[in-house]
Amino acid sequence: MPTIRGLWHKRKSIVFTWLISYSAVLFVPIALSLVIYSQASHALKGEIHRANDALLKQMRYTIDNQVDLMKRLDMEITWNDKLQSLMYSSKPAKEAPFTAYQLAKEFRLYKTSYASIDEFYVVWDQGGAILRPGNIRDLRTAFRTLHDTGDLSYDDWSETVRGPAANRFAVLPHLGAGTSDDAIAYITRLPDDLSGNPTGSIVVMADASRFRKAIEGISDFGEGLLLILDKDNEILLSSRPDAPELQPFLDDGHVRLTQTRLGGSELFYMPSAVSDLKYALIFPSAVYWKKAEYVRSFASISILLSLIGAGILTWFFTRRNYTPIHELMQSLTDRNAPAERGDGNELRYIQRAVLNARSEKERIATQLQKHQQTLRSNMIYRLLKGKLDARVPYEEAFRSFHMALPSNEFAVLLFVLENEESLYAKLPGIDLNERARLAPFIIGNVVEELALQRQHAGYVAEADDMLACLVCLKPDAPDVRGELTAIASEAQAFLRRYDMELTISVSGCHSAWAGIAAAYQEAVDAMEYKMVLGKQGILAYEDIRANPADSAGSGYYYPLQAEQQLINFIKAGDFGEASSYMREITERNFGGRVMPLALARCLLFDLVGTMVKAIGELGEGSAWERDAGWLDAVVASGTLQEMQEALQTLLRDVCAFAAEKRASNAALEREGSLRELTAEVVRYIEAHYADANLNVNAIGERFDLKGSYLSRLFKNQTGEGLLDCIHKTRIARAKAMFRAKQESINDISRLVGYNDAATFIRVFKKYEGITPGKYKEIV
């Protein structure tokens, strides 16, 4: 029982696993033998197919070259100008023999160019002749010369070359150079002429011996039978004409390509690439099975040897391989620790030991990395602040942090992220501390990489709520300022694609460790000028530092006269003038040399004070006078541009209010003046109504106004025109005179200013509805 229990406890041991695994190897050959036996025939068949395809491709390539030459010669003859003229020209028949003679002479050139073409000629139906290179023969003579071997009659030959098919291959006997042989002919029937009469045919021949030599040169299988078939699957040429293995595949003279295995043979074929011919290979099946039997015997012997060898080596390698694992477990076991009861598997024990060691190593490395990053940032921060420690060898400290020092020249780049809050709002689901570390991490990596691309060394650390990049310049840098500006510009452009809006300041170049603090202070001073020069820019200290030679022309300009003029423009409600004048003041102060930062702040707050004074002089009713919230918005502006925009917005509203108030006061004054003018005009009419020359123009001259304009003003105030007022005043005086019964109508008309009694009567009737005589009778 103890032995069985011990064996059961060791069932998960690697020794047991190896024994099972090595034993399983004994059964693998058996399974492989079944697979090999079942797949051997298929694999060999595939190999034979590939070999036969390769053979057929060689055959096709060789024969297609010859066929392609035949077709090209046929094409050249077909489109020969003289042949076209002979066959289709409407010239007199007596010129045809000469054209045929020229064509026969030209065929000699074709004969020379196509040396592998054994024979070619043109059958001329209308002339009853054959055109060959250099001669013209009648049909029968040409037949006896070229084809009369006894195997083909004249009528059969005539039917073959004059057949209706346009392009076809045929086998024709050929007499040439005292020998006779079959030839493969490519026959092209030319189209009929415009009258529907037959024209002729073109016959291009290559002796079968050429094709047989090509086939014999590429055939690697003595048992194989190679065939050339036409489009109807009739045999044009065979490597062995009377081969018995061909008979099962023949059907009334045609080769059956649909059945690939018949009578102990297998058939493979491939179409021509340049014509409608087919190339076939008939292969004995006996060769196929002979190779399969060889492979099967070889596989059986291999399996048997594998079984014997595996049985011998399994136990040997099991013992040999377990020895180093046992020694490794002994070395990993802590003798001072309590014995750990595992599951009995040595590999899992080693894996746990390695994982524990790796985890401990990673934990220690992580802690070291955190401390190293903190120490590195602290060292850079102390250098930036000028807190040098004489006991610290900074060169060795930089090497310990893997920080290269190309030279002893340093500069500082400062980065301020202007849209930090809006940027973090786009990163939901990330812890606030992670967000705060993410942006500096990205900016630091980008800037350090850009500095490295220009062969400088850049190291980023946080300082005073900004990111500072200490740049150690490469030796003998030709344009330090240009290099630093380029790094800042590339970093700004790259990070802008990720919605990071940066303001960057650039210091000058300083030597030695003590110069780092001076470079940092220059970058800080330059960064403060973003209030004047604006955010999201690149501020170089060399651009803003004070130059004693330029101090005389960089003074503060905002005299009392300018302030009073701006206040007057605001009170007048003239936004255009006020805005232009304010821009002129800021442009005069900031448009040229860089103004000292203290003076710039004074000017900005003086402009705000001017706005306060102008608002105070607008008097009661000003919303800005009651609510000074606008002042907080203006003062809170971070840059000159933002403050200018805020002041311009406020200026527009204040000028609009002042203009409205001024227009209201002017309207009231104008209304009083018009009422007084109207009263004076009425009094003047009442005093001079008897004057016959009293009219609109005369009254206008009296008041130094144009008559039509005065009449329009009068009508706007009283509702009636000036001429109506004159007539009504005169009619009223006339009615009073009628009631007193003093004078006649003619006298009264003259007394009230009408020279003509008829005019007086007409006007009287217009306004009273009755004539003066009727009115006099009534009263």
- At the top level of CATH, the class of 368-533 is alpha beta
- Of 147, 144, 101, 145, the residue nearest 124 (C-alpha): 101
Per DSSP, 454 falls in state T
pLDDT tens readout for residues 189-237: 888 888 888 889 999 988 888 777 777 766 555 567 788 888 888 887 7
Q: State the pLDDT at residue 337.
A: 55
Q: State the pLDDT at residue 664.
A: 66
DSSP letters of 35-75? Answer: HHHHHHHHHHHHHHHHHHHHHHHHHHHHHHHHHHHHHHHHH
The H-or-E segment that residue 281 falls in is strand 278-284
More confident residue, 81 or 662: 81
Q: Tell me the longest C-alpha to C-alpha distance in the chain.
A: 168
- Say which CATH superfamily domain 1-340 falls into: PAS domain (3.30.450.20)
* Distance from C-alpha of 522 to C-alpha of 343, rounded to nearest angstrom: 68
Most confident of the following: 82-91, 265-274, 451-460, 588-597:
451-460
pLDDT tens readout for residues 399-458: 888 888 888 889 999 888 877 777 766 666 666 667 677 788 888 888 888 888 888 888
More confident residue, 659 or 57: 57
Q: What is the mean pLDDT of residues 754-779?
A: 84
Measured CA to CA in angstroms, residue 724 lies from 90, 719, 729 at distances of: 110, 10, 8
Q: What is the mean pLDDT of residues 179-193?
A: 84
- pLDDT value at 148 more than 80: yes
Q: Helices (DSSP H) in 335-431: which residue ranges? A: 346-385, 394-400, 420-425
By three-state DSSP, how is residue 391 classified? coil
What pTM does this model have?
Answer: 0.39
- pLDDT value at 1 more than 50: no
pLDDT tens readout for residues 696-740: 888 888 888 888 887 887 877 777 888 888 888 888 888 888 888
Q: Beta strands 538-540 and 466-472: pairing type?
A: unpaired
Q: Which has the minimum average pLDDT: 1-15, 146-160, 162-176, 665-679?
A: 1-15
Q: Which has the minimum average pLDDT: 108-112, 237-241, 489-493?
A: 237-241
Quick check: 146 and 175 in contact, CB under 8 A? Answer: yes
* Distance from C-alpha of 764 to C-alpha of 735, rounded to nearest angstrom: 10
- Of 567, 553, 409, 389, the residue nearest 474 (C-alpha): 409
- Of 735, 747, 744, 576, the residue nearest 655 (C-alpha): 576
CA 39 to chain CA mean position, Å: 52
Please give the CATH topology (third level) of the domain spanning 689-778: Arc Repressor Mutant, subunit A (1.10.10)
- pLDDT value at 675 more than 60: yes
Q: State the pLDDT at residue 405.
A: 85
Which pLDDT band holds residue 26 (cuts at 50, 70, 90)?
low
- pLDDT value at 5 more than 60: no
* Distance from C-alpha of 566 to C-alpha of 578, rounded to nearest angstrom: 6
Which pLDDT band holds residue 122 (cuts at 50, 70, 90)?
very high
Most confident of the following: 83-97, 291-305, 594-608:
83-97
Q: State the pLDDT at residue 201.
A: 92
Q: Give the start-to-end residue ranges of the domains of the chain.
A: 1-340, 368-533, 550-665, 689-778
Measured CA to CA in angstroms, residue 205 lies from 67, 112, 175, 263, 698 at distances of: 10, 15, 12, 35, 127
- pLDDT value at 171 more than 80: yes
pLDDT tens readout for residues 574-605: 777 777 777 777 777 766 556 666 677 777 77
**3-state class percentages of the chain: helix first, strand second, coil last, to nearest 5:** 60, 15, 25
* Distance from C-alpha of 350 to C-alpha of 75, rounded to nearest angstrom: 81
pLDDT tens readout for residues 524-576: 888 877 766 767 788 888 877 654 444 444 567 777 777 777 777 777 777 77
pLDDT tens readout for residues 680-696: 888 888 888 888 888 88
The H-or-E segment that residue 251 falls in is strand 250-251
More confident residue, 395 or 634: 395
Q: What is the mean pLDDT of residues 330-358?
A: 69
DSSP letters of 185-204? Answer: EEEEEPPP-TTS---EEEEE
